[in-house]
Amino acid sequence: MPLLWGMQPIHIAREGTALGRFTAEDVAEGLRDGKFLPTDLAWSDPMPEWIPLSEFKDLPELPPLPSVEQSSAMPPLPTEPAWEKREEIGIPKAVIETVSGLLVHPRTIYAGFQKEGGFRNPLLFLVLIGTLTGWVALAYQYVLTMVNPEALGEALKTFPPDKIWMLFLGMFILMPIGVMISAFVSCGIFHVALLLLSKTPVRFETTFRIYCYAWGTASVFQLLPMCGGYLYPIFAIYLTVLGLRDVQKVHTPVAIFAVLLPIILCCGLFILGAGLTAAGTAVSAAQ
């Protein structure tokens, strides 16, 4: 099996926990000094799967392998989010394990994250969790609006008070569609930025899977009143950047720029629109 040690780092994991990325020299020294074990799992792009370090060739002074009993007792490294196995473990458990795993130890999940696997499963996870939590956030906003109509903002102050419920009902119904559309649009922008800036090959399918699991997981913060709306995008951006870096193997600045690009574009369009509106108002007043 050809290994491009000179070009790609070697990822090491033990008992489901990622130990980091190392050069071939570091791995050889770690095996010699006992830092790494022959049964530790390792992966280097473009290998199709994780293999034990004992199967890597040309690493000097490998220590002896542990007994068969010890090897069989070692838990396997996760290969995908638990949501991908929901038919085996059930939907509630799959949701809990996926969300808790990405929030508590995301790098462990990303260490075994599959780059391929289709669009259906991650999109279903995002739409399910994002819609449910979005409905809760919408309910919070509706109650706040009923208590304080000023919460609608300047743009909607002229909306008839007795018709506000229709506005929220429309957003409630369109929530799943909005979640799906935002996923493909955002991922498209992310991926274009990655293609332009990254020196390593990247796949849209991988970007999409990272986005869906990251933003679907972070959306649970919308269940928190008041502060949840601020925590949600912060953790979503963090998980997406981490995933692009660890799974797509892009540099951290590139991942950060790709994730923030949609926000930059939206802010730029908003400023442009506000400027055009102000200019139009000034012209009308002058006439």
Secondary structure (DSSP) of 202-227:
--HHHHHHHHHHHHHHHGGGGGSTTT
What confidence tier does 264 reach under pLDDT thresholds 50, 70, 90? confident
What confidence tier does 211 reach under pLDDT thresholds 50, 70, 90? very high
Q: At 198, list the tokens.
A: 């990254």
- Give residue 92's pLDDT: 92
Q: Which of 58-67, 125-134, 163-172, 235-244 has the lowest mean pLDDT?
A: 58-67
Q: For all residues of the chain together, what is the average pLDDT?
A: 78
Q: How far apart are CA 266 and CA 168, in angstroms?
A: 23
pTM: 0.64
- Give residue 55's pLDDT: 79
- 167 CB burial (10 A radius; 0-12, 13-18, 19+): middle
- Give residue 238's pLDDT: 93
What confidence tier does 269 reach under pLDDT thresholds 50, 70, 90? low
In the predicted structure, residue 66 carries a pLDDT above the cut 50: no
Q: Are 197 and 258 in contact (CB under 8 A)?
A: yes
54-64 pLDDT per residue, tens: 777 656 554 44
In the predicted structure, residue 180 carries a pLDDT above the cut 90: yes
Angle at 112 between CA 109 and CA 117, to 5 degrees: 105
In the predicted structure, residue 86 carries a pLDDT above the cut 60: yes
Q: Are 256 and 241 in contact (CB under 8 A)?
A: yes
Q: What is the mean pLDDT of residues 113-133?
A: 90
Which residues of the chain form beta strands (DSSP E)?
10-14, 17-22, 41-43, 51-52
Q: What is the mean pLDDT of residues 188-194?
A: 85
What confidence tier does 143 reach under pLDDT thresholds 50, 70, 90? confident
Q: Which of 34-43, 61-70, 99-108 has the lowest mean pLDDT?
A: 61-70
Q: How far apart are CA 190 and CA 204, in angstroms?
A: 9
Longest dimension (CA), the chain: 89
pLDDT: is 179 or 14 the higher one? 179
Q: How far apart are CA 208 and CA 186, in angstroms?
A: 9
Q: What is the mean pLDDT of residues 42-61?
A: 73
Range among 71-75, 187-191, 197-201 with highest mean pLDDT value: 187-191
Q: What is the mean pLDDT of residues 117-121?
A: 88
- Give residue 281's pLDDT: 54
Q: What is the mean pLDDT of residues 59-85?
A: 57
